[in-house]
């Protein structure tokens, strides 16, 4: 080969191998290639997750960091910012005050405490003076379980309380007082990992708003209602809209119990009185027509809507 052509070929090869973004200073362009090289980074292999790679000051680095999985339990008894990074669970005792009648601990960003593969649990919560639990756990997508939540009759609003806690499999509400709660809208919406929910302790005699309460609880099979889970305060059934939308796995027993609860609303309640409107599917509605409580509900003006 001609020496000149050989030299040109070698230059092209060297350009391809060496004139690369990571070898050129950031902000400088050579042969149309813009550099990314910087010399002010200080990460080391142990700062980068194992299995991940990065360029530091132009050098290719393979990560060696293996994160520590949180273990142990921390007891939280005071307000403020508390680092729970190294704990797998937390027991919380937080009291509200009349001057600030809302949750004094915001769990919204709980997922930030965890790495993607770490499940998170919360132990018992004792919050005797909290008036509002609105969005208390909203969006805690890695929260898997919550222990016994103890509150008092001062609670008036639990809307969006567990909204889109998509990994939540269990929560103990046996000590949760709802005597003076007036709205439960969207309370369990998007809790797609829940299969059973025990609400036998819930008193809903003052609740006027149930809209979207169980919407998209796609794996929920069993809901246990107590005798005090009633809808006598619902004066407009439009406040029940989409209550069970996408709850595709509800058992026949649960469907029958739902019919019994619906039958507790006032005979004079206005609004749309159809199973379709509250979110039950066509097949679920058909099942309902053969259940024991359907006759009572139908007598109050309800139809399937299909």
Per-residue model confidence as pLDDT tens digits over 234-282:
999 999 999 999 999 999 999 999 999 999 988 888 999 999 999 999 9
Question: Between the CA of residue 91 and those of 30, 54, 160, what are the distances in Å?
Answer: 59, 39, 22
Residue 131 DSSP SS3 = coil
Asked whether residue 301 carries a pLDDT value surpassing 80, the answer given is yes
Top-confidence residue, 80 or 158: 158
Tell me what the mean pLDDT of segment 126-139 comes to.
82
Record the pTM: 0.67
Asked whether residue 35 carries a pLDDT value surpassing 50, the answer given is yes
Strand partners, 170: 145
Phi, psi of 44 (to 5 degrees): -120, 175
Biggest alpha carbon–alpha carbon distance for the chain: 100
Phi, psi of 187 (to 5 degrees): -55, -45
pLDDT bin (cut points 50, 70, 90) of residue 101 is very low
Tell me, what DSSP letter sits at residue 24? S
Per-residue model confidence as pLDDT tens digits over 229-242:
999 999 999 999 99
Per-residue model confidence as pLDDT tens digits over 162-216:
999 999 999 999 999 999 999 999 999 999 999 999 999 999 999 999 999 999 9
Phi, psi of 2 (to 5 degrees): -55, 130
Cβ partners under 8 Å of residue 10, min gap 6: none
Distance CA 43, CA 62 (A): 11
The encoded tokens of residue 88 equal: 């797998």
Top-confidence residue, 232 or 16: 232
pLDDT bin (cut points 50, 70, 90) of residue 7 is low
How far does Cα 142 stand from its chain's mean position?
Answer: 8
Tally the C-alpha atoms within 13 A of residue 279's C-alpha that lie toward its C-beta. 25
Angle at 215 between CA 209 and CA 220, to 5 degrees: 120
Per-residue model confidence (pLDDT) at position 109: 38
Percent with pLDDT over 70 in the chain = 76
Per-residue model confidence (pLDDT) at position 110: 39
Residue 278 DSSP SS3 = coil
Burial 214-225 (b: 16+ CB within 10 A, else e): bbbbeebbebeb
Angle at 115 between CA 218 and CA 36, to 5 degrees: 120
Tell me, what DSSP letter sits at residue 45? G
CA nearest 288: which of 303, 266, 272? 303
């Amino acid at each position: 080969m001609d020496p000149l052509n050989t030299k040109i070929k070698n230059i092209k090869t060297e350009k391809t191998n060496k004139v690369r973004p990571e070898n050129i200073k950031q902000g400088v362009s050579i042969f149309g290639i813009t550099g990314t090289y910087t010399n002010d980074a200080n990460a080391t292999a142990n700062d980068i997750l194992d299995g991940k790679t990065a360029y530091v000051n132009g050098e290719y680095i393979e990560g060696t960091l293996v994160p520590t999985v949180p273990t142990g339990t921390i007891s939280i008894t005071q307000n403020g910012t508390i680092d729970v990074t190294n704990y797998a669970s937390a027991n919380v005792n937080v009291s509200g005050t009349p001057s600030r009648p809302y949750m004094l601990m915001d769990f919204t960003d709980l997922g930030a405490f965890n790495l993607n593969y770490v499940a998170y649990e919360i132990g018992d919560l004792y919050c005797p003076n909290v008036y509002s639990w609105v969005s208390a756990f909203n969006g805690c997508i890695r929260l898997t379980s919550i222990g016994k939540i103890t509150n008092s009759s001062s609670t008036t609003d639990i809307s969006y309380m567990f909204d889109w806690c998509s990994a939540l499999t269990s929560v103990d509400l046996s000590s949760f007082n709802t005597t003076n709660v007036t709205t439960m809208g969207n309370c369990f919406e998007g809790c797609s990992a829940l299969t059973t929910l025990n609400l036998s302790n819930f008193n809903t005699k003052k609740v006027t708003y149930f809209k979207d309460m169980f919407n998209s609880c796609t794996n929920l099979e069993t809901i246990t209602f107590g005798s005090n889970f009633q809808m006598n305060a619902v004066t407009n059934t439009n406040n029940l809209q989409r209550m069970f939308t996408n709850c595709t796995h509800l058992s026949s027993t649960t469907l029958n119990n739902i019919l019994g609860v619906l039958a507790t609303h006032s005979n004079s309640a206005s609004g749309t009185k159809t199973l379709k409107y509250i979110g039950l599917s066509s097949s679920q509605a058909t099942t309902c027509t053969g259940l024991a409580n359907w006759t009572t509900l139908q007598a109050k003006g309800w139809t399937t809507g299909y």
